[in-house]
Amino acid sequence: MSRSQNQVLRMLAMVPYLQSNDGVPVNDVATEFGVTPKQIRDDLKLLMFTGVGEFAGELIDVDLTALEDDGVVHIRDAEFMSRPLRISGQEGAALIVALRTLRASAAGDELTVIDSALAKLESAMGDTVHAPVDVVLDQEVDPVIHHTVVRALAEGLRLAMVYATATRDEQSQREVDPRRVFTERGKLYLEAWCLTAEDLRFFRLDRVISAETTGEPVDDHDAASRDLSGGMFTVGEQTPFALVELHPGAHWMTESYPVELVEQDDRGVWTAKLFGADWGWLRRLVLRNAGSVAVLEPAELRAEVVEAACQALGAYDE
């Protein structure tokens, strides 16, 4: 079972326990559930976003002052956990689609668990909900590699991988401690602590050339998973960017890539900052959208785009 699955089960059991043991020391809770006090604190902060609605009184409330200053736990507004919840047709459809999405990234024993839950949910909803949705990933992942990654997650084992980096057209050997597998825009990703980078990294599973467990247990690197609500790519002070002109045929890029609009003229030409992982990625993106995107700055990137375009045209002439 993955860490996220363990966390969900722990929090479901924790709520009635805390309701019956108001004011219990956080260290006692950690001992009861076999985790660290820090993990209990993280669970409680996540529980504050859980409830039957989105307003005060509908979400579980944790007394953070008592938790941080006195090391004891008080929760309120969690009475809804003492009675069965009814889900609407819309919620049932959302759960069915979510399970099918989860199934697309699962392998091995996880498939059995997901299929069982999916069958029970579809049976319980009956004719009240119709979710004719199939989730299909637009990538081909080696099933052996997929199974190895899932097994490493389930057993808490370190992975040795050979990974292909598309932006630099090279392969690298890495040892990673897997954290979770998830889908993003039809791609299957592994989030893992990379021992080479000494940081969390995302790896597309279709770019993993080989993977095997090392037999070593993963370490607890005390790093929170990154919030992906804003997308996989985040812009920082050192993120490369190009000042470009986006003609009408390229306006869609503002919804698909990190873009900061600077100016819009009457002709429908937008001047914008286009951010990318590196200069090679930006150059290829501009070339793929030739005729709709023009680089204004920096001059070096503009020259590289012109040179690459001329070489491509020259190849056709030959």
- Residues 41, 99 within the same domain: no
The arithmetic mean of pLDDT across residues 58-77, rounded, is: 86
Number of domains in the chain: 4
**Has residue 235 been placed in a domain?**
no
**Has residue 136 been placed in a domain?**
no
Helical spans, DSSP H, in 250-298: 253-256, 279-288
- Mean pLDDT, the chain, whole residue set: 80
CA separation for the pair 194, 200 (Å, rounded): 6
Query: In which band, very low, low, confident or very high, does the pLDDT at 83 lie, cut at 50, 70 and 90?
Result: very low
- For the ranges 78-87, 169-178, 292-301, the maximum mean pLDDT occurs at 292-301
- Residues 250, 310 within the same domain: yes
**Has residue 234 been placed in a domain?**
no
**Has residue 135 been placed in a domain?**
no
Q: Containing domain of residue 305, as a range?
A: 241-317
- Residues 113, 58 within the same domain: no
Query: In which band, very low, low, confident or very high, does the pLDDT at 246 lie, cut at 50, 70 and 90?
Result: very high
Query: In which band, very low, low, confident or very high, does the pLDDT at 165 lie, cut at 50, 70 and 90?
Result: confident
pLDDT tens readout for residues 88-133: 667 777 777 777 777 766 666 667 777 777 777 777 676 655 555 5
Who's near 228: CB < 8 A, 6+ residues apart? 182, 184
pLDDT tens readout for residues 217-227: 998 877 776 66
- Residues 170, 210 within the same domain: yes
**What does DSSP assign to residue 69?**
I
Which residue is associated with the tokens 């997901």?
Answer: 114
- Residue 247: CA count within 13 A, CB half-sphere: 9
Structure tokens at 221: 């690197």
**Has residue 174 been placed in a domain?**
yes
Name the residue with higher pLDDT: 128 or 68: 68
Helical spans, DSSP H, in the chain: 3-20, 26-33, 37-47, 64-65, 89-104, 109-125, 143-155, 253-256, 279-288, 299-317
pLDDT over 90 (residue 234): no
**Has residue 181 been placed in a domain?**
yes
Domain containing 173 — which CATH number? 2.30.30
Name the residue with higher pLDDT: 300 or 98: 300
Domain containing 266 — which CATH number? 3.30.70
Question: Considering the chain, what percentage of its residues have pLDDT values greater than 70?
Answer: 78
